[in-house]
């Protein structure tokens, strides 16, 4: 019987917490920093161990480049003479998303906070040119507080990095058609795998299912996704677009896909707005418990490839400080009406109301955008702690056609031109008087607003012959 080691490097082994055909994972203690770590070791001969060492070193390099609260931190890489290469990483007490999904699909309010965290992790990697290449539920760990960690960057690829090449180093079920055809990995590779993971979270099944590996790969490259008949049409269209064969016909980025997914799932307004704010934040801030997450079932198997998020919200705030700049400022932002998208120096913050959020201290400009309203720009003073703005409704542009043509057009008695008019701007607030006048024809008038538009064709009536226009005006007025 093979005995577990007592030490690996400087780490004191406590117990085995996972094993497979390729190796084992141990829970150990770092005697210097007094923290738990998960240590991965690999079985196999010299060639396999040499390859594993390169992968471990690669994963450590990426961990050093991407410091993010939703990505596993690698603490150490080394070799033991009687054991081979090892990788020491933070310890997470909780299952993988794969283990959670083994029990079935997740409710949208449970799935979306996890997917948003996964999006932030991938975006952080992509910003420094790193492509994960094997994004899937098995590589997403979820701790007891509902915080998600992306792990296993061992086959990740970086631009101009020669370690892995462009072969099919991935899990086939999550591979995109381009990778199957031999194209080099790109952010599109991770985007497809993310969409497949989101589909699995929402439906409990994979978008492409084959009886054999060859059939599966053929369906991914040429077939249509298996969309449940019970899925609402808008949601079906979102996933159909995500799995288009031509990349140009898919969503332009992960954030657009996930924003659309949030909008088409059956969620209340109270549930949707916090999710959108959390999605738009430059870095997830605040306790995850403020959003609905999937609690761990009592006695559920615990996958421990990393550490429980020690310090919880404190560590998250520290990470936010590193990302946004030292000593971030706190500010509350409200708009009337609420729901406006806020950008700080062109960096998305979320949707109003935003209460005591962290922004870079150097921020000097806020922009507010809300569908149906005019964009609003506001300078931000260093001492501002609360910002409240009122959004102005955007004008409604309508076409004005008359029969006969050539009628003068007046809005609130201000001349605007003559018919036909391809674009007349009606102010977004209040009622306004629209008048058409043409010699020999009766004046035409109606009250218009952003919701009350003139008819597509305004037919002017000829004035009755022999009538005294002055007398008519005295009796009936201008109407």
For the segment 310-316, the average pLDDT, to the nearest whole number, is: 31
Active-site annotation holds for 134: yes
pLDDT digit string, tens, across residues 54-68: 888 877 777 777 778
- Structurally, at CATH architecture level, domain 7-92 sits in 2-Layer Sandwich (3.30)
To the question of domain 396-476 being in CATH 2.60.40, the answer is: yes
CA distance 108 to 292: 9
Query: For position 466, what pLDDT does the model report?
Result: 56
Residue 318 has pLDDT above 50, yes or no: no
Find the catalytic residue in 76, 134, 176, 412: 134
Does CATH number 1.10.510.10 belong to domain 96-302? Answer: yes
Which residues in 65-87 are b (16+ Cβ under 10 Å) and which e? ebebbbbbbbbbbbeeeebbbbb
CA atoms of 60 and 46, how far apart (whole Å): 21
Cα distance between residue 149 and residue 130, in whole Å: 16
Whether pLDDT at 161 is above 80: no
3-state secondary structure 359-427: ECCCCCEEEEECCCECCEEEECCCCCCEEEEECCECCEEEEECEECCCCEEEECCEEEEECCEEEEEEC
Lowest-pLDDT range, 85-99, 101-115, 141-155?
A: 141-155
For the chain, domain boundaries:
7-92, 96-302, 326-390, 396-476
In angstroms, rounded to a whole number, what is the distance separating the alpha carbons of residues 265 and 107?
10
pLDDT at 202 over 90: yes
pLDDT at residue 415, rounded to an integer = 93
CA-based R_g, the chain, Å: 30
Residue 317: name the closest of 308, 303, 307, 327 by CA.
Answer: 327
Decide if 7-92 and 396-476 have a common fold: no
* Percentage of residues of the chain with pLDDT beyond 70: 83
Which residue would you say has higher pLDDT here, 4 or 459? 459
pLDDT band for 473, please (50, 70, 90 cuts).
Answer: low
């Amino acid at each position: 019987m093979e005995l577990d080691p007592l030490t690996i490097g400087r780490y004191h082994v406590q117990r085995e917490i996972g094993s497979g055909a390729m190796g084992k994972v141990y829970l150990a203690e770092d005697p210097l920093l007094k923290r738990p770590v998960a240590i991965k070791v690999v079985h196999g001969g010299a060639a396999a161990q040499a390859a594993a060492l390169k992968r471990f070193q690669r994963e450590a390099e990426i961990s050093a480049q991407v410091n993010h609260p939703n990505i596993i931190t690698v603490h150490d890489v080394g070799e033991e003479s009687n054991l081979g290469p090892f990788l020491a990483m933070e310890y997470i007490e909780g299952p993988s998303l794969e283990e959670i999904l083994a029990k079935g699909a997740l409710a949208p309010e449970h799935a979306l906070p996890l997917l948003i965290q996964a999006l932030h992790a991938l975006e952080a990697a992509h910003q420094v040119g790193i492509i994960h290449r094997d994004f899937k539920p098995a590589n997403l760990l979820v701790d007891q507080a509902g915080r998600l960690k992306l792990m296993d960057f061992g086959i990740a690829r970086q631009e101009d990095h020669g370690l892995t090449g462009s072969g099919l180093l991935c899990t086939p079920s999550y591979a995109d058609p381009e990778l199957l055809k031999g194209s080099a990995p790109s952010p599109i590779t991770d985007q497809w795998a993310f969409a497949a993971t989101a589909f699995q979270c929402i439906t409990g099944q994979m978008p492409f299912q084959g009886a054999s590996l060859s059939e599966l790969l053929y369906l991914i490259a040429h077939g249509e996704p298996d969309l449940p008949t019970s899925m609402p049409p808008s949601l079906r269209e979102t996933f159909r677009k995500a799995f288009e064969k031509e990349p140009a016909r898919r969503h332009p980025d992960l954030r657009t896909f996930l924003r659309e997914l949030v909008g088409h799932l059956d969620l209340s307004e109270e549930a949707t707005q916090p999710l959108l704010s959390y999605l738009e934040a430059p870095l997830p801030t605040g306790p995850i418990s403020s959003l609905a997450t999937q609690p761990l079932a009592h006695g559920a198997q615990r996958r421990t490839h990393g550490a429980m998020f020690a310090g919880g919200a404190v560590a998250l705030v520290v990470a936010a400080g590193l990302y946004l700049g030292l000593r971030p400022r706190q500010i509350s932002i409200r708009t009337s009406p609420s729901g406006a998208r806020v950008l700080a120096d062109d960096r998305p913050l979320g949707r109003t109301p935003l209460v005591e959020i962290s922004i870079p201290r150097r921020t000097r400009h806020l922009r507010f955008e809300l569908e149906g309203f005019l964009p609003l720009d506001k300078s931000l003073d260093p001492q501002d702690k609360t910002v409240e703005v009122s959004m102005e409704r955007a004008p409604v542009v309508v076409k004005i056609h008359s029969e006969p043509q050539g009628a003068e057009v007046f809005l609130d008695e201000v001349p605007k031109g003559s018919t036909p008019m391809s674009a007349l701007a009606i102010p977004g607030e209040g009622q306004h008087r629209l008048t058409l006048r043409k010699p020999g024809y009766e004046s035409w008038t109606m009250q218009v607003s952003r919701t009350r538009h003139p008819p597509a064709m305004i037919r002017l009536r000829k004035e009755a012959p022999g009538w005294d226009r002055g007398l008519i005006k005295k009796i009936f007025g201008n109407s």
